[in-house]
Chains A and B, each alone.
Chain A
Amino acid sequence: EVVLTQSPGTLSLSPGERATLSCRASQSISSSYLAWYQQKLGQAPRFLMFGASSRATGIPVRFSGSGSGTDFTLTISTLEPEDFAVYYCQYYGDSLWTFGQGTKVEIK
């Protein structure tokens, strides 16, 4: 069973800065089934990225994804006030859906 480990646990940044979030898999996985979600406090998660690097409909271009094998990254090029939230990576494989534990992006 694949385990996803996200780092750091918390990222303290200022609006306008660049955010780099990591998602590491316990074994090599297909990037086709790696997705990212954003969750703001008190809200349901929002689908951001699929296939590791493709933005979902309506997601701003400042969000980008990359990676392969065991290491994946979500980058927010220039943080906007509405981007401060918790971000989760998620993988599908062998009839199991797995989430990472999340990275909180907070205002410094």
Chain B
Amino acid sequence: QVQLVESGGGVAQAGRSLRLSCAASGFTFSRYGTHWVRQAPGKGLEWVAVIWNDGSNRYYGDSVKGRFTVSKDDSKNTVFLQMDSLRADDTAVYYCARGAGNWHAVLDFWGQGTLVTVSS
């Protein structure tokens, strides 16, 4: 069955960096894009970034553009989210999700999330 498992969350000081991982299994990794979506405590969902299945395209939400970088390692079926220059408002649960359909438009399977806390 499709599984996405995030890791790498924790506590980081403002201005520092953190790298999240999303390990995928149960499907042909090379056929699907991968999104990152975050949810601040008690708030709604905010789309963060996506990487195309072949790595050819990467897009970011305005609030993280220039600070976060998404990448992938096909040999490990893993997607990464490098988060630099962290701010207090980056505190959230970060989910990775499989992108499906044209333009990876829908997010059809989600991981359980990893909590990132940025202390000031």
Interface residues of A (CB under 8 A from B): 32-33, 35, 37, 39, 43-47, 50, 56, 86, 88, 90, 92, 95-102
Instruction: List the A side residues contacting B108 at CB < 8 Å.
Output: 47, 56
**Known: A47-B107, A50-B101. Is A97-B47 also a contact (CB below 8 A)?**
yes
Can you add 17 more A-B contacts, CB < 8 Å, to A47-B106, A90-B106, A96-B61?
A32-B102, A35-B105, A43-B112, A44-B113, A45-B37, A45-B95, A45-B110, A46-B110, A47-B109, A86-B44, A90-B107, A92-B105, A95-B57, A96-B47, A98-B47, A102-B44, A102-B45
Q: Please tell me if the beta carbons of A88 and B110 are within 8 angstroms of each other in the complex.
A: no
The verdict on B55 contacting chain A, using a C-beta distance below 8 Å, is no
Q: With A and B bound together, what is the CA distance between A97 and B35 in angstroms?
A: 10
Select one of A33, A39, A56, A95 contacting B59, CB under 8 A.
Answer: A95
Q: Find the A residue at minimum CB distance from B45.
A: A99
Q: With A and B bound together, what is the CA distance between A97 and B46 in angstroms?
A: 9
Q: Please tell me if the beta carbons of A35 and B110 are within 8 angstroms of each other in the complex.
A: no
Select one of A39, A50, A88, A96 contacting B106, CB under 8 A.
Answer: A50
Q: Is the interface of B mostly helix, strand, loop or mixed?
A: strand
Interface size class of B (residues with CB under 8 A): 20 to 34
Give min CB distance, A33 to chain B, whole Å.
5
- Tell me which residues from 7 to 61 in chain B have a Cβ below 8 Å from any Cβ of chain A: 35, 37, 44-47, 50, 57, 59, 61
Q: With A and B bound together, what is the CA distance between A88 and B105 in angstroms?
A: 15
Instruction: List the B side residues contacting A92 at CB < 8 Å.
Output: 103, 105-106
Instruction: List the A side residues contacting B61 at CB < 8 Å.
Output: 96
Give min CB distance, A97 to chain B, whole Å.
4
Instruction: List the B side residues contacting A86 at CB < 8 Å.
Output: 44
